[in-house]
Amino acid sequence: MNRDHSRVRVLLLNAALGPLDYSVPEGMHVEYGSIVMAPLGPRKIPGVVWEAERFPADEIDANKLRPILEVRELPPLSAPLRRLIEWTAQYYFASPASVLRMVLSSGAAFSDKRPIVEYQLNGNVPDRMTPQREQVFAKLVDVQGTISELAYKADVSIAVIRGLEKLGAFDRSEVSAFSNISPPQPDFAKVDLSQDQLAVSTVLRDAVKARAFKPYLLDGVTGSGKTEVYFEAVAEALRQDRQTLVLLPEIALTEPFLDRFKARFGTEPVSWHSGLKQSERKRNWQTLASGEAKVVVGARSALFLPYKNLGLIIVDEAHENSFKQEDGVRYHARDVAVMRGLHEKIPVVLASATPAIESRHQVEQGNYEQLVLPARFGGATMPEIEALDLTQDVPPKGSWLAPTLVNALEENLEKGEQSLLFLNRRGFAPLTLCRTCGHRIQCPNCTAWMVEHRLTRRLACHHCGHVMPQPDKCPECEDEDSLVACGPGVERICDEVKMLFPQARTAIVTSDTIWSPAKAADFVHQMEAGGIDIVVGTQLVTKGYHFPNLTLVGVVDADIGLEGGDLRAAERSFQQIAQVSGRAGRAEKPGHVYIQTRMPNAPVIQALVEGDRDGFYEAETESRRAAGAPPFARLAAIIVSSEDNSEAMETARLIGQTAPKVDGFNVYGPAPAPLSMLRGRHRHRLLVHAYRSVDLQHIMREWLVKLEWPRAVRVGVDVDPYSFV
């Protein structure tokens, strides 16, 4: 038999191993992209058949090859997807297996078609109650899920759920991982587009028909109808019987999106995010791989899924930094989306009211086409924006809202209109301090203060998740009643609002309160029904939402974002404040925005007040150009960490000392990271700066591959970094 047919290279789902060769037993059919099960030692692990020339590996003697055990009944991964996996691994210094893991989404691909058993409380209460059991009954009202999902949702151990199951507290039901879904209809509800909208949607529809790679920057002010416009492109993809992927930055935004999609297309799209149940995850994976799911809306991880015939990718709120993944494979979903478009030969639409400077630069370079929606839909006006100088308009002692803002809130309440206060800080207070000895309560695992969460009576580290009960005396000097909360978080602002306006109905919106799409849906419905007067929220409320009766926005502290100042600080502040301002006055009633600041003359604040977006962008772009910062050059961070500080330091020093000397390629550091301890690991950073003319990946690979460091040291590379801590 011809050796080439009996031997294949397989990329295994194991990040520690390179690809391995296997033999193909007679009668088994495999092709490139086939998903197979292969033996590895005593185990059996999944993998994908790959072109051998793309992953060099040691040639093993044909008679030593072990046979592939089975080919899964799943569509083979397409060539464009295989190229995307290779590109992502190469560009971001990740192992191909760790990218493959996102494609196969671990368990989701390997459904064995057995029905999944889910449980739901049935009202039977056991004779003996324990605190954990109480918790189950409190938290699992109307919740259905597998044993482990229920344990997770109730925050108890699996044993507690199992115990209750034995006592008959649950009803069980079998759910199939497979079901028929009715496809969205392109002409379910027609919308009349404005002239501007029509012009843009025509370009996008033609792009979908053209079936060619082309990136677009859909640049439209808040409330201009970007969603409405890209829906026309989705409709065209549906007519062409091709799939669409819509990426959203936050799972909290999926629920309102589903409603809106359903109103336009008659049925909900398939969703993909971390909040899915295992049964849903399996079903959704299978349906998008089979082509049955026509439209998928999801968080960044949806980008790597094996769509059968993708025809369009939309990245909504494309400027959002949450598209950058900060652990595992450190990729930027916006950028990988464009690469996927290139490989699949389809259009990619980046939609935003405040595009990233990187995206604008691509337009200037002629790589992306810009499509502009200059005005709000239906004659709604842009809100009036005013800066409040906190040094002049001083909040009373111990409070945070300036008198002018308080008056505005009061008037808005009287008018029966809704208000939103924005502060990008979860919890009650960012720091707890002892008045007697000056001790500050720090996380034991991180260089970070513990943040007080008064609603749950705990202190929490926002970096590693460590929590401790709220202490009643200073852990250092043991003085009682000496601990004070310093600075405000959203909970504290909400307390202030309640003191000022006891009659007002308030809501706190952060990832602590809105942690699932269902919670987000509750919030949206309450807002729409007029059940909330004043919302206090973090960046979670700044984007996407459309509440016609919301007319007042207060930015509690516009200066926070500029502290610490990495290269995008000003841009990010501008985007955040412009986005949150964009929630005000989106329908008939005009909106008003107050920005509290100590620096009313800062360029960011000035640009916001004057509505001079383009002026701000131009100045910011010029300063990036002058500084040789991205997008005019490229950066890569090297993060060295270990539980042993001297090991980490030595490795970082070794990396620094061996840095290659290449024109246009410079290495800065090492230096202790600003977050010098994270999850118990000491961290040191180096920063690589390279001009676009040099091949950063190639130089770095050649350099790092030759070095060795102790096993316990981790060296991570973050290409195009967004975080510098």
Binding residues for ligand ATP, rule: CB under 6 A, are 191-194, 197, 220, 222-228, 353, 377, 544, 546, 582
Contacts of residues 472-478 at CB distance under 8 Å and 24 or more positions apart, as own/partner, are 474/434, 474/436, 474/437, 474/439, 475/439, 475/441, 476/434, 476/437, 476/439, 477/434, 477/436, 477/437, 477/439
Least distance in Å: CB of 460 to Zn ion?
A: 9
Distance between CA atoms of residues 569 and 79, nearest Å: 39
**Choosing among Zn ion, ligand ATP, none, which partner's interface includes residue 597 (Cβ < 5 to 8 Å by kind)?**
none
Phi/psi at 630 (5° precision): -55, 145
Cis, peptide link before residue 670, omega less than 30° from 0: yes
Residues that bind Zn ion (CB under 5 A): 443, 445-446, 461, 463-464, 466
Q: Considering beta carbons, is residue 400 or 545 the nearer one to ligand ATP?
A: 545
Q: Considering beta carbons, is residue 467 or 662 the nearer one to Zn ion?
A: 467
**Choosing among Zn ion, ligand ATP, none, which partner's interface includes residue 225 (Cβ < 5 to 8 Å by kind)?**
ligand ATP
Least distance in Å: CB of 674 to Zn ion?
A: 14
Q: Considering beta carbons, is residue 98 or 723 the nearer one to Zn ion?
A: 723
Distance between CA atoms of residues 328 and 309, nearest Å: 28
Q: Considering beta carbons, is residue 287 or 579 the nearer one to ligand ATP?
A: 579
Distance between CA atoms of residues 636 and 692, nearest Å: 12
Q: Considering beta carbons, is residue 194 or 641 the nearer one to ligand ATP?
A: 194
Tell me if residue 688 falls in helix, strand or coil. Answer: strand
Q: What is the gyration radius of the CA atoms in the chain, in angstroms? A: 27
Q: Considering beta carbons, is residue 235 or 678 the nearer one to Zn ion?
A: 678
Buried b (16+ CB within 10 A) or exposed e, 290-301: eebbbbbbbbbb
Least distance in Å: CB of 683 to Zn ion?
A: 12
Distance between CA atoms of residues 215 and 369, nearest Å: 7
Least distance in Å: CB of 395 to ligand ATP?
A: 29
Other residues' Cβ atoms within 10 Å of the Cβ of residue 203 = 17
Distance between CA atoms of residues 492 and 499, nearest Å: 11
Distance between CA atoms of residues 346 and 207, nearest Å: 8
How far, in whole angstroms, is CA 680 from its chain's centroid? Answer: 25
Least distance in Å: CB of 546 to ligand ATP?
A: 4
Name residue, tokens 């090297």.
Answer: 638
Token reading at 384: 């009036």
Contact between 337 and 326 under an 8 Å Cβ cutoff? The reply is: no
Least distance in Å: CB of 466 to Zn ion?
A: 5
* Closest residue to ligand ATP using C-beta atoms: 225
To the question of whether residue 494 is assigned a binding role by annotation, the answer is no
**Choosing among Zn ion, ligand ATP, none, which partner's interface includes residue 463 (Cβ < 5 to 8 Å by kind)?**
Zn ion
Least distance in Å: CB of 725 to Zn ion?
A: 12
Least distance in Å: CB of 197 to ligand ATP?
A: 5
Q: Considering beta carbons, is residue 351 or 638 the nearer one to ligand ATP?
A: 351
Tell me if residue 194 falls in helix, strand or coil. Answer: coil
**Helix H segments across 416-534?**
490-500, 517-528
Contact between 319 and 248 under an 8 Å Cβ cutoff? The reply is: no
To the question of whether residue 486 is assigned a binding role by annotation, the answer is no
Token reading at 315: 């990245």
**Choosing among ligand ATP, Zn ion, none, which partner's interface includes residue 228 (Cβ < 5 to 8 Å by kind)?**
ligand ATP
**Choosing among Zn ion, ligand ATP, none, which partner's interface includes residue 445 (Cβ < 5 to 8 Å by kind)?**
Zn ion
Q: Considering beta carbons, is residue 349 or 353 the nearer one to ligand ATP?
A: 353
Other residues' Cβ atoms within 10 Å of the Cβ of residue 453 = 21
Contact between 679 and 445 under an 8 Å Cβ cutoff? The reply is: yes
To the question of whether residue 474 is assigned a binding role by annotation, the answer is yes
Other residues' Cβ atoms within 10 Å of the Cβ of residue 263 = 11
How far, in whole angstroms, is CA 136 from its chain's centroid? Answer: 30
Least distance in Å: CB of 151 to Zn ion?
A: 24
Strands 592-597 and 384-389 come out as: parallel
**Choosing among ligand ATP, Zn ion, none, which partner's interface includes residue 546 (Cβ < 5 to 8 Å by kind)?**
ligand ATP
**Helix H segments across 563-602?**
569-581
Least distance in Å: CB of 379 to ligand ATP?
A: 11
Q: Considering beta carbons, is residue 165 or 528 the nearer one to ligand ATP?
A: 528
Please work out, in degrees rounded to the nearest 5, the angle formed at the alpha carbon of residue 632 by the alpha carbons of 628 and 633.
Answer: 70
Q: Considering beta carbons, is residue 193 or 662 the nearer one to ligand ATP?
A: 193
Nearest to 105 by CA among 307, 342, 400: 307
H or E, element range at 44: strand 43-50
**Choosing among ligand ATP, Zn ion, none, which partner's interface includes residue 521 (Cβ < 5 to 8 Å by kind)?**
none
Output the known binding site: 434, 437, 443, 446, 461, 464, 474, 477
Output the known binding site for Zn(2+): 434, 437, 443, 446, 461, 464, 474, 477
